[in-house]
């Protein structure tokens, strides 16, 4: 085998053989294939695609590059969830303890934010003392004693993917559907969960801007999971407007706790319950009522135990940004659009996100929404509040919001997109 012939095969729209795929993933992981060579192959895959057999083999090779976890010792069935990322997407925070309260074990390996999309680990790290890095033994202990764990994937889990993901991020190949699907599914299959629900975001604030691309990605991932013996289903959900009323780390934790307390924004509650029902059904749990578990306090009890088990203080005061700037509505009428991507960019520029993996984030930074599409607003009323520790960032963030909303004449009828757009199984 040599890497040049592998690159040429895909460059010329050929099908990579199982032997070529196994060799190139192993050689890249060991450092025998250079970054610039794998960059060329990733770009060829972006441009020319892969068939189902190639994607399945690519995924299997990445799984084989590291260890596989085993949750067979648990007394509960396991169910996991993965979101492709969006703005204000704090769903994992209330969802994991909710599903645990209903009888499943939730081994949630999560990631950090990059660019305009927020990261679950960054949000939880705004809780004083909370730890994202757990050993496999610690992860299993938290899962066994609390029913849910949210943590970072260990270095031994699909190391080929970790290396390739970092490369894709700096070479313009993040959007390649075969590489997105294999990246997500290699980690989830290696994680060892028995069932998996995928939340594939669609809209301006998502990586998949149109529903056709989202369906292709969802079908690819559902196929990979099914072929590997993991019961997998995908929901396509709207990400044209931010989820909830906050985008930013501590801001989203605060809103998630409101949901666990039986309140919170209607769209966050709706999607949390929809995903919980899918996870419980996939895990074979038929008689649980996630809506009831939010109302009766049992989901909150599981949240508190989960946070404490990872060193966090569930009663601690969350960080608050030192500076705020209020953006007011320029006219009176019906808010018909509030662009998720623009809000995400503003939150990122305020310090809630990072441009590079090693960049720090501000726990209190972000954007607070005072209205959502469909609401009537009055000229001069607060529309958004920007939060940051560094007020010199306000002007930079405001530039991203210059075309972020539309306000129609008073009385204009407005029909919002449904939260769940489609289901792939």
In order along its 425 residues, the chain shows pLDDT tens digits of: 899 999 999 999 999 999 999 999 999 999 999 999 999 999 999 999 999 999 999 999 999 999 999 998 999 999 999 999 999 999 999 999 999 999 999 999 998 876 778 889 999 999 999 999 999 999 999 999 999 999 998 888 899 998 998 888 788 898 899 999 999 999 999 999 999 999 999 999 998 999 999 999 999 999 999 999 999 999 999 999 999 999 999 999 999 999 999 999 999 999 999 999 999 999 999 999 999 999 999 999 999 999 999 999 999 999 999 999 999 999 999 999 999 999 999 999 999 988 776 788 999 999 999 999 999 999 999 999 999 999 999 999 999 999 999 999 999 999 999 999 999 99
Cα 79 from Cα 67, distance rounded (Å): 20
Contacts (Cβ under 8 Å, ≥6 apart) of 153 = 109, 111, 162, 187, 191
Rounded CA separation 239/312 (Å): 30
HSE-up of 27 (CA within 13 Å, CB side)?
17
Tell me the CA distances in angstroms from 415 to 1, 272, 375, one per residue in order: 57, 22, 11
80-83 and 195-202 strand pairing: parallel
Q: Would you tell me which CATH number, out of the four given (1.10.760.10, 1.10.357.10, 3.40.140.10, 1.20.970.10), belongs to the domain 3-49?
A: 1.20.970.10
Sequence-ordered list of residues with C-beta below 8 angstroms from that of 57, at least 6 positions apart, any chain: 16, 18, 21, 22
Beta-carbon neighbour count of residue 223 at 10 Å? 17
Where are the chain's structural domains? 3-49, 80-156+170-309, 323-408
Q: Distance between CA atoms of 242 and 369, rounded to whole angstroms?
A: 9
Annotated catalytic residues are: 82, 161, 168, 183, 187
Q: Taking the C-alpha atoms of 360, 400, 345 and 240 in order, what is their torsion angle to the nearest 10 degrees?
A: 170
Structure tokens that stand for 302 in this block: 């599981």
Topology given in CATH for the domain delimited by 323-408: Aldehyde Oxidoreductase; domain 3 (3.90.1170)
Residue recorded with tokens 């604030």: 205
Q: How far apart are CA 261 and CA 296, in angstroms?
A: 9
Given a contact cutoff of 8 angstroms between Cβ atoms, the answer to whether 271 and 94 are in contact is no
Q: Out of 3.30.2030.30, 1.10.760.10, 3.30.565.10, 3.40.1030.10, which CATH number does the structure's domain 80-156+170-309 have?
A: 3.40.1030.10
* Cα–Cα dist 168/176, whole Å: 9
CA neighbours within 13 Å on the CB side: how many for 220? 29
Q: SS3 for the chain, per residue? A: CCHHHHHHHHHCCCCCCHHHHHHHHHHHHHCCCCHHHHHHHHHHHHHHCCCHHHHHHHHHHHHHCCCCCCCCCCCCCECEEEECCCCCCCCHHHHHHHHHHCCCEEEEEECCCECCECCHHHHHCCCCCCCCCCCHHHHHHHHHHHCEEEEECCCCCCHHHHHHHHHHHCCCCCCCHHHHHHHHHHHHHHHCCCEEEEEEEECCCCCECCHHHHHHHHHHHHHHHHHCCCEEEEEEEECCCCCCCEECHHHHHHHHHHHHCCCCCHHHHHHHHHHHHHHHHHCCCCCCCHHHHHHCCHHHHHHHHHHHHCCCCCCCCCCCCCEEEEEECCCCEEEEEECHHHHHHHHHHHHHCCCCCCCCCCCCCEEEECCCCCCEECCCCEEEEEEECCHHHHHHHHHHCCCCEEEECCCCCCCCCCCEEEEEC
Question: How far apart are alpha carbons 359 and 367 in whole angstroms?
Answer: 19
Residues 334 and 317: their CA atoms lie apart, in Å, by 36
Contact between 124 and 179 (Cβ < 8 Å):
no
Confidence (pTM): 0.93
What pLDDT score does 111 carry? 84
């Amino acid at each position: 085998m040599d890497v040049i012939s592998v690159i040429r095969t895909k460059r010329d729209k050929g099908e990579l053989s199982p032997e070529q795929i196994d060799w190139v993933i192993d050689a890249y992981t060991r450092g025998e294939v250079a970054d610039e060579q794998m960059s060329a192959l990733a770009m060829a895959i972006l441009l020319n695609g892969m068939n189902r057999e190639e994607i399945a083999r690519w995924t299997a090779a990445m799984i084989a590059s590291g260890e596989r976890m085993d949750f067979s010792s648990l007394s509960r069935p396991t169910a996991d969830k993965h979101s492709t990322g969006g703005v204000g997407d704090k769903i994992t925070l209330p969802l994991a303890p909710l599903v645990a309260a209903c009888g499943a074990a939730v081994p949630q390996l999560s990631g950090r934010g990059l660019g305009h999309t927020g990261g679950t680990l960054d949000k939880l790290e705004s809780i004083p003392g909370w730890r994202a890095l757990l050993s496999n033994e610690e992860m299993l202990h938290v899962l066994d004693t609390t029913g849910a764990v949210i943590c970072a994937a260990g270095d031994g889990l699909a190391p080929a993917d970790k290396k390739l993901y970092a490369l894709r991020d700096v070479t313009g190949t993040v959007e390649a559907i075969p590489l997105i699907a294999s990246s997500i599914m290699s980690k989830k299959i290696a994680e060892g969960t028995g069932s998996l629900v995928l939340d594939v975001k669609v809209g301006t604030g998502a990586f998949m801007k149109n529903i056709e691309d989202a369906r292709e990605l969802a079908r690819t991932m559902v196929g990979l999971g099914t072929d590997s013996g993991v019961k997998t289903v995908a929901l396509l959900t709207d990400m044209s407007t931010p989820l909830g009323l906050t985008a930013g780390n501590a801001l989203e934790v605060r809103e998630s706790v409101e949901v666990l307390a039986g309140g919170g924004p209607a769209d966050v509650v709706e999607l949390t319950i929809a995903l919980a029902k899918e996870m419980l059904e996939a895990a074979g749990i038929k008689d649980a009522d996630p809506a009831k578990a939010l109302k009766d306090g049992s989901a909150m009890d599981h949240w508190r135990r989960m946070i404490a088990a990872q060193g966090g203080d569930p009663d601690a005061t969350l960080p608050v940004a030192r500076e705020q700037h209020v953006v007011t509505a320029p006219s009176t009428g019906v808010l018909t659009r509030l662009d998720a991507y623009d809000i995400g960019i503003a939150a990122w520029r305020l310090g809630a996100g990072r441009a590079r993996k090693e960049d720090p984030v501000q726990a209190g930074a972000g954007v607070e929404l005072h209205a959502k599409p469909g609401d009537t607003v009055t000229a001069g009323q607060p529309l958004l509040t920007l939060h940051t520790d560094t007020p010199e960032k306000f002007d930079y963030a405001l530039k991203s919001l210059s075309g972020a909303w539309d306000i129609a004449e008073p009385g204009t009828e407005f029909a919002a997109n449904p939260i769940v757009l489609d289901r792939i199984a």
